[in-house]
Structure 1
Amino acid sequence: MKIKNAYRIITLENGLTLILYPIKEIQSIYIASAIKSGNYYAKDEKHIGIAHFLEHLAFSSTEKFKTNQEIFKRIYEIGGGTNAKTTLAGTLFWIKTPYINADKAVDLLYQVVFRSSFTKKDFEKEKSIIINECNDNYTDPIWVFNQKIRQNRFKDIPQYQLPVTGDIKHILSIQDKDIILWKKRFLNPSNMVISVIGKFDEKKVTSKIKRTFGKERKGKKTVFPKYQEDGYSKFTVYVQKNESKQINFNINFPAFGWCEVERHHEIVLNILNNILGKGHLSRLWLALRETEGLTYDCGSYTSLFPYLGYLSIYGSTDINNLEKTFRKIKSVIEDIKENGVKKEEFSRIKKYLNLLLYMSFETPESISGYLIGELMDYGEIWSPEDYSKERSKVKMEEIKKMAQEIFKSEKMNVNFLGDISQEKANELAQILL
Structure 2
Amino acid sequence: MSRSPFPPARRPVTPPGVVRHATAGPAGRAGTASRAVTRTISDDPLGGTVRRTVLPSGLRVLTEAIPTVRSVSFGIWVAVGSRDETGPQAGAAHFLEHLLFKGTHKRTALEISSEIEAVGGETNAFTTKEYTCYYARVLDADLPLAIDVMCDAVADSLLEPADVETERGVILEEIAMHDDEPGDEVHDLFARAVYGGHPLGRLISGTEETVTPMTRRQIQGFYRRRYTAPQIVVAAAGNLDHAAVVRLVRRALHGTPLDTAPAEPGTPRPNTPAVRTKPATVLVEPKETEQAHVILGCPGIDRVDDRRFALGVLNNVLGGGMSSRLFQEIRERRGLAYSVYSYASQYADSGLFAVYAGCAPGKVDEVLQLTRAELARVAADGLTEAEVARGKGMSKGSFVLGLEDTGSRMSRLAKGELLYGDLTPVDELLARVDAVTVADVNTLAAELLSRPMSLAVVGPFGERDFVG
TM-score (norm 2): 0.83
Q: Is 1:344–2:386 an aligned residue pair?
A: yes
Q: Is 1:248–2:293 an aligned residue pair?
A: yes
- How far off its partner does 1:400 sit? 1.8
Matches within 5 A, 1:173-184: 173-184=213-224
In 2, Cα distance between equivalents of 1:223 and 1:142: 32
- How far off its partner does 1:40 sit? 1.9
- How far off its partner does 1:34 sit? 0.5
Matches within 5 A, 1:10-409: 10-42=53-85, 44-65=86-107, 67-157=108-198, 159-213=199-253, 216-217=259-260, 218=262, 221=266, 224=269, 229=274, 231-244=276-289, 246-259=291-304, 261=305, 264-409=306-451
- How far off its partner does 1:234 sit? 1.6
Deviates further, 26-35 or 221-230:
221-230
Deviates further, 303-312 or 400-409:
400-409
The residue type paired with residue 198 of structure 1 is G
**What do residues 319-359 of structure 1 show as CA deviations (whole Å, max 9, x unaligned)?**
44444433322332222122211011111211221222112
Q: Is 1:2–2:20 an aligned residue pair?
A: no
In 2, Cα distance between equivalents of 1:383 and 1:342: 29
C-alpha distance 320-116 of structure 1, shift in aligned 2 (>3 A): closer
The question of whether the paired residues in 2 share the 8 Å contact of 1:29 and 1:196 is answered with: yes
Number of paired residues? 420
The residue type paired with residue 170 of structure 1 is T
Greater helix percent: which structure?
A: 1
In 2, Cα distance between equivalents of 1:98 and 1:395: 44
In 2, Cα distance between equivalents of 1:27 and 1:239: 50
The residue type paired with residue 153 of structure 1 is V
**What do residues 113-153 of structure 1 show as CA deviations (whole Å, max 9, x unaligned)?**
11221322222222222222222222222232222111112
C-alpha distance 318-196 of structure 1, shift in aligned 2 (>3 A): closer
- How far off its partner does 1:316 sit? 2.8
The residue type paired with residue 301 of structure 2 is F
Number of the residue aligned with 1:430: none
- How far off its partner does 1:417 sit? 2.6
**SS of the counterpart of 1:109?**
helix
Number of the residue aligned with 2:465: 424
C-alpha distance 213-321 of structure 1, shift in aligned 2 (>3 A): same
The question of whether the paired residues in 2 share the 8 Å contact of 1:155 and 1:231 is answered with: no
**What do residues 261-293 of structure 1 show as CA deviations (whole Å, max 9, x unaligned)?**
3xx211121111111111122111222222323
In 2, Cα distance between equivalents of 1:138 and 1:87: 18
**SS of the counterpart of 1:271?**
helix
In 2, Cα distance between equivalents of 1:179 and 1:244: 36
- For structure 1, the residue ranges without an aligned partner over 5 or more in a row are 428-433
The question of whether the paired residues in 2 share the 8 Å contact of 1:62 and 1:112 is answered with: yes
The question of whether the paired residues in 2 share the 8 Å contact of 1:12 and 1:214 is answered with: no
Name the Cα RMSD after superposition: 2.4
**What do residues 159-179 of structure 1 show as CA deviations (whole Å, max 9, x unaligned)?**
112211211121123222222
**SS of the counterpart of 1:297?**
strand
C-alpha distance 183-245 of structure 1, shift in aligned 2 (>3 A): closer
The question of whether the paired residues in 2 share the 8 Å contact of 1:59 and 1:71 is answered with: yes
The question of whether the paired residues in 1 share the 8 Å contact of 2:103 and 2:159 is answered with: yes
- How far off its partner does 1:226 sit? 6.3
The residue type paired with residue 250 of structure 1 is I
The question of whether the paired residues in 1 share the 8 Å contact of 2:319 and 2:343 is answered with: yes
- How far off its partner does 1:36 sit? 0.8
- How far off its partner does 1:227 sit? 7.9
In 2, Cα distance between equivalents of 1:53 and 1:230: 25
C-alpha distance 317-75 of structure 1, shift in aligned 2 (>3 A): closer
The question of whether the paired residues in 2 share the 8 Å contact of 1:188 and 1:219 is answered with: no
The question of whether the paired residues in 2 share the 8 Å contact of 1:13 and 1:214 is answered with: no
- For structure 2, the residue ranges without an aligned partner over 5 or more in a row are 1-43
The residue type paired with residue 123 of structure 1 is V
The question of whether the paired residues in 2 share the 8 Å contact of 1:14 and 1:214 is answered with: no
Identity of aligned residues (%): 21
In 1, Cα distance between equivalents of 2:219 and 2:365: 50
**SS of the counterpart of 1:312?**
strand
- How far off its partner does 1:244 sit? 4.2
In 2, Cα distance between equivalents of 1:204 and 1:235: 53
